[in-house]
Amino acid sequence: MYLAPFPLAPFPLAQALPTQAPGVFTGGANVIAVLILLAEFGMLRQALLRDHIRLYMAQSALIAILAVIVAAARHIPDLYVLAALTVALKVIVIPLLLRRLLRETDPVGAAAGGADIAGSGGLGEASTVLLAIVVAAFGFFAASRLGIRSDAAPVTALSVSLSVVLVAFVLMIHRRDVVSQAIGLFSLENGISLAALVVAASLPLILEVALLFDLLLAVVVFGLLIRIHHGRGRSLSTADLTRLRG
Amino acid sequence: MGVVAALLLIVPFLAGLASFAAPPRVGQAITAVSGVASFGLVLALIPDASQRAASYFGFVRVDALSVVFLLATSFLYATVAIYSIGYLPGGHGHDASARYTRRFSLGLNLFAWSMLAAPLMSNLALLWVAIEVTTVISALLVAIEGTDGAAEAAWKYILIASAGLSIALLGTIFMYYAGAQVLGPHYSMAFAPVLASARHLAVTPVRMAFVLAVLGFGTKVGLFPVHTWLPDAHSEAPTPVSALLSGSLLAVSFYAILRYYQIAVASLGPRFPRDVLLVFGVATLLLAALYLLDQRDYKRLLAYSSMEHMGILAIGVSFGAPIALAGVLLHVLAHAAAKGNAFMGSGVLLRKFGSKEMKGVRGGLDLLPWSGPLFLAAVLALCAMPPFGLFRSEFEIVTGGLATSHNGPAVILVILVTVAFLGLTLSANRMLLSRPGSGEPAELGEPLTRGEPSVWMVVPVAVGLIALLVLGLHPPGELTGLLARAVAQLGSRA
């Protein structure tokens, strides 16, 4: 079995940290990328579904802001359209759909500020966060070893995006209710959007639109399945889904 | 030929809408006509595709490799659509069963439409989009029966498959990055130019993209260790959907892996991509063969058999010899026909005995004069017994493995396929050759009488059996020409 090691390029993290202070653009982009990762960690800790959705909105809005910054700094006008679509879809439409779903499936809990799902995980909260920090660090340093350069956005943002993806996986595995798992998947998609801003900023707009449309379709189907699930079990929990074992 | 490709993208979609609007029986007839028409359209593509690759409308591309997968999908679409006429209740007016049938026809047509669209896409990003569409539509079809098991299986399926496809999307983005370094930032991810310039692509991003694509699309192929949704979805879905999931959906996802494989081989050389596929293939085959020995539910048995065959496909590609690649592509076609037959036969058993458990099915050969022998033939075909198509294809794969001195993997393949043979035939024996009424009855009632539930559920299976025999005994010249051309594409740097 042949598995050559990845070429050990000069540590790109060192390149991303120039000797003088980073420019406004690089600094701003990196700050936003880190805020996106923090939002992901926030989701991991957040116990109320209502606030979970709010964090997803904030994370999506950050993606849109980063898209606008990259568009302005690198003169890629397509990204303005992408930012507008991101706001329309991920900040407005998807949270609206999810909230309506919550209202319909759990009117009492929603009136009290959202269904309480605290303690729904298999691991303790603290160990989950520790695990998430470990995988986030792994993603961050693994990506910086890839030797990827980008003209659009700082590569540190790519490293952060892989951390977001991995933490989103932890979130989906940890949570035991269908809404959190769905939001975990959508935030995973946000992490990929962040990666795409770095390495595929000039991806033709038509493809970006196709990808977003696909996301919308997935959201609608997730909504339908959540409703079916709730209709069967009168609960959003997946703790009882143990009959089918692969 | 552009018209044919366009019709393939239009006919099933319109048939879906029409069958939803029309009364149930009319809708089922529309579905069947659309299925047969799609198969005819794909047949019309064969002569051209065996000669050259052609692009239309900027986003459609037809070549030999894509036509092979279109052939498998459209054949199953046609047979399953006819089978559904017998499987589903017709119903009248606006009662629940009529509503169910209309929704089912809509879903079945759209599912087939999305699976026919995926191999036609000229563009790696659109290919990903099409495969994601197959996921969301088929998840709804898995859930359509509304039972607890169906809801659980559908949720598991969509969550795991979507997470897997997110990984594939990451791979797609890395491939875009690799291509953009060579082709300029505004290229459209069209497949042909990326492949043409593959040898100039940066190595690390292509390597990342390939591994992420294998893992991501492999989730939908059912490769170990990301297969866990597969047996559940296959066993809980309505039988016609199970047949399409197993015969077409897994193959279409494998098609996506093959496209990345083509680029990876041209860019990295054959060794790395083949080793990756070999590891996934052997692990999948091993797991599936062992699970086949201990199943109680015959639809799950067939689901693990699908995993077994996907493992064989991955191993076959990893051998790299032209004869092994020809075997792989023939295997895609023969597996579609055989697994479609087996699932359609299992649907008859389910209807007759009212149980998905093997112990509830006894004396199938006596009680089902047509479906019993046909199901037995389908199981034997799945075990790669001659004279069926899978015997020919697995024989070619093993020959290719030995020819390229992959002796170890070839021997492992033969051993594990034999283990799978044992599992499948023992179970089929118990269900078919035992005395009627010797098992635990599914429900108290009158003893079952000899007879078929519906002639519509027999005819498509007989057609599938004929296809298997043709593929095994004497594949038509047009088909071998098509396969040879597709092998040339896949193995251009073998």
Residue A204 lies in a domain: yes
Contacts of B175 in chain A (CB under 8 A): none
- B484 reaches A (C-beta below 8 A): no
Q: Cα dist. A179→A230, B223, B378 in Å? A: 11, 27, 41
Cα distance from A233 to chain B (closest Cα, Å)?
Answer: 8
* Contact between chains at B125 and A207 (C-beta distance less than 8 A): yes
Calculate ∠ Cα A10-A16-A17, nearest 5°: 105
Is B283 in CB contact (< 8 Å) with chain A? no
Could you list the residue range(s) of the whole structural domain that residue A128 is in? 26-233
Domain for residue A42, yes or no? yes
DSSP strand pairing (B60-62 vs B54-56): antiparallel
Q: Which residues of B touch A217 (CB under 8 A)?
A: 132-133, 136
**Gap from B72 CA to chain A (nearest CA, Å):** 25
In angstroms, the CA B216 to CA B163 distance is 8
- CB-CB: which of B140, B208, B229 is closest to A224? B140
3-state secondary structure chain B: CHHHHHHHHHHHHHHHHHHHHCCHHHHHHHHHHHHHHHHHHHHHHHHHHCCCCEEECCCEEECHHHHHHHHHHHHHHHHHHHHHHHHCCCCCCCCHHHHHHHHHHHHHHHHHHHHHHHHHECEHHHHHHHHHHHHHHHHHHHHCCCCHHHHHHHHHHHHHHHHHHHHHHHHHHHHHHHHHHHHCCCCCCEHHHHHHCHHHCCHHHHHHHHHHHHHHHHHHHCCCCCCCHHHHHHHHCCHHHHHHHHHHHHHHHHHHHHHHHHHHHHHHCCHHHHHHHHHHHHHHHHHHHHHHCCCCEHHHHHHHHHHHHHHHHHHHHHHCCHHHHHHHHHHHHHHHHHHHHHHHHHHHHHHHHCCCEHHHCCCHHHHCCCHHHHHHHHHHHHCCCCCCHHHHHHHHHHHHHHHCCCHHHHHHHHHHHHHHHHHHHHHHHHHHCCCCCCCCCCCCCCCCCCCCCCHHHCHHHHHHHHHHHHHHHCCCHHHHHHHHHHHHHHCCCC
Instruction: For an interface test with B, give the residue of A145, A214, A220, A235 to mutate (most B CBs within 10 A).
Output: A214
The model's pTM: 0.91
Residue A21 lies in a domain: no
- Asked whether the beta carbons of residue B151 and residue A199 sit closer than 8 angstroms, the reply is no
Q: Report the distance separating Cα A213 and Cα A98, nearest Å.
A: 17
Helix (H/G/I), strand (E/B), else coil: A237: strand
Q: Which residues of A touch B180 (CB under 8 A)?
A: 200, 202
Cα distance from B245 to chain A (closest Cα, Å)? 16
Comparing C-alpha atoms, which of B87, B459, B72, B435 is closest to residue B238? B87
Inter-chain touch A207–B232, beta carbons under 8 Å: no
> Which residue in chain B is spatially nearest to A213 when comparing CA positions?
B129
Whether B155 and chain A come into contact, CB under 8 Å, resolves to yes
- pLDDT confidence of residue A234: 62
Output the pLDDT for position A8: 45
Instruction: Please tell me the predicted confidence (pLDDT) of residue A119.
Output: 47
Q: Which residues of B touch A172 (CB under 8 A)?
A: 159, 163
User: Touching check for B104 and chain A: CB below 8 Å?
Assistant: no
Residue A54, domain member (yes or no): yes
Taking an 8 Å cut-off on Cβ atoms, the answer to whether B186 and A204 are in contact is: yes
Are the beta carbons of A157 and A73 closer than 8 angstroms?
no
Q: Answer whether residue A182 is part of any domain.
A: yes
Q: Is residue A189 less than 8 Å (CB to CB) from chain B?
A: yes
CB atoms within 10 A of CB B249: 29
What was the pLDDT predicted at B180? Answer: 86
- From first to last of the 494 residues of chain B, give the pLDDT tens digit: 789 999 999 999 999 999 999 888 899 999 999 999 999 999 999 999 988 888 888 889 999 999 999 999 999 999 999 999 988 875 555 677 888 888 999 999 999 999 999 999 998 999 999 999 999 999 999 988 888 888 888 888 999 999 999 999 999 999 998 888 888 877 888 888 898 888 898 899 999 999 999 999 999 999 988 999 999 999 999 999 999 999 999 999 999 999 999 999 999 989 999 999 999 999 999 999 999 998 888 999 999 999 999 999 999 999 989 999 999 999 999 999 999 999 999 999 888 888 888 888 888 888 888 888 999 999 999 999 889 999 999 999 999 999 998 899 999 999 999 999 999 999 998 888 887 766 555 554 556 788 888 888 899 999 999 999 999 999 999 999 999 999 998 876 44
What whole-number distance in Å separates Cα of residue A85 and Cα of residue A82? 5
* A109–chain B nearest CA distance, Å: 23
Amino acid letter, B422: L
Q: Looking at CA atoms only, how far is residue A197 from chain B in angstroms?
A: 10
Q: Nearest to residue B219, comparing CAs of B248, B247, B249, B189?
A: B249
Is the CB of A205 inside 8 Å of chain B's CB atoms? Answer: no
Determine whether the interchain pair B180/A202 forms a contact, defined as Cβ–Cβ distance below 8 Å. Answer: yes
Q: Which chain A residues are Cβ-neighbours of B169 within 8 angstroms? A: 189, 192, 211
Assess B140–A contact: CB distance below 8 Å, yes or no. Answer: yes
Distance from CA of A114 to the nearest CA of B (A): 22
Q: Which residue has 């980063």 as its token pair?
A: A66
Residues sharing a CB contact under 8 Å with residue B477, sequence separation 6 or more, in sequence order: none
Those of residues 157-186 in A touching chain B at CB distance below 8 A are 165, 169, 172, 178, 181-182, 185
- Return d(Cα B143, Cα B399) in angstroms, integer: 42
H or E, element range at A209: helix A205-233
Q: In chain A, whose CA is at the least distance from the CA of B225?
A: A246
Min Cα–Cα distance to chain A from B431, Å: 23
Judge: A1–B279 Cβ closer than 8 Å, yes or no.
yes
What local confidence, expressed as pLDDT, does residue A21 receive?
Answer: 65
> Under a CB-based contact definition with an 8 Å cutoff, are residues B361 and B298 in contact?
yes
The two three-digit tokens of residue B359, written as one number: 């112990």
A228 has a chain B CB within 8 A of its CB: yes
In a domain, A49, yes or no: yes
B123–chain A Cβ distance below 8 A for any pair: yes
The whole-number pLDDT of residue A26 equals 85
Mean pLDDT (whole number) for A27-56: 88
A67/A82 Cα distance (integer angstroms): 7
pLDDT tens for each residue of A192-232: 989 888 888 878 777 788 788 878 888 888 888 888 877 76
Residue A10: is it exposed, middle or buried by C-beta count within 10 angstroms (0-12/13-18/19+)?
exposed
- Compare all CA atoms of chain A with the CA of B188 and give the residue at the minimum distance: A204
Write out the two tokens for B40.
Answer: 């005819």
Three-state SS for A152? coil
Residue B188 has its nearest CB partner, among A189, A204, A229, at: A204
Q: Which of A6, A148, A218 sits opposite B162 (nearest CB)?
A: A218
Confirm if B97 and B361 have CB atoms less than 8 A apart.
no
Total domains in chain A come to: 1
CB contact under 8 A, B163 and A185: yes
Half-sphere exposure of A204 (CA within 13 A, CB side): 13
Tell me the torsion sign for CA atoms A149, A153, A155, A161. Answer: negative
Please identify among residues 163-182 of chain B the ones whose CB lies closer than 8 Å to any CB of chain A.
163, 166, 169-170, 173-174, 176-177, 180
Distance from CA of A130 to the nearest CA of B (A): 22
Nearest by CB to residue B204, choosing from A146, A195, A203, is: A146
Is residue B70 within 8 angstroms of chain A, CB to CB?
no
The residue type at B36: V
User: What Å distances lie between residue B70 and B251, B263, B313, B432, CA to CA?
Assistant: 10, 21, 17, 33
pLDDT averaged over chain A? 79
Q: What is the dihedral of CA B278, B280, B281, B284, to 10 degrees?
A: 150
Residue A244 lies in a domain: no
Q: B179 near B165, Cβ under 8 Å?
A: no
- How many CB atoms lie under 10 A from the CB of residue A23? 12
Cβ-count burial B327-352 (b if 16+ within 10 Å, e if not): bbbbbbbbbbbbbbbbbbbbbbbbbb
Residue A245 counted as domain residue: no
Which two three-digit tokens encode residue A145? Answer: 């070893």
How many CB contacts within 8 angstroms connect chain A with chain B? 133
**pLDDT score, position B67:** 94
Is B232 in Cβ contact with A246 (below 8 Å)? Answer: yes
Asked whether the predicted pLDDT for residue A179 surpasses 90, the reply is no
Q: Give the span between the Cα atoms of B103 and B17, in whole angstroms.
A: 10
Percent of chain A with pLDDT over 70: 78
Compute how many other C-beta atoms are within 10 angstroms of the C-beta atom of residue B404: 19
Contact A148 B177 (CB under 8 A): yes
Interface test with B, best of A199, A202, A215 (most B CBs within 10 A): A199
Rounded to whole angstroms, how far apart are CA atoms B450 and B37? 35
Structure tokens at B396: 């070619």
Domain ranges of chain B: 1-121, 123-269, 271-494
Cα B358 to Cα B235, B245, B355, distances in angstroms: 13, 21, 8
Q: At what angle do helices B389-403 and B322-353 cross, to 10 degrees?
A: 150
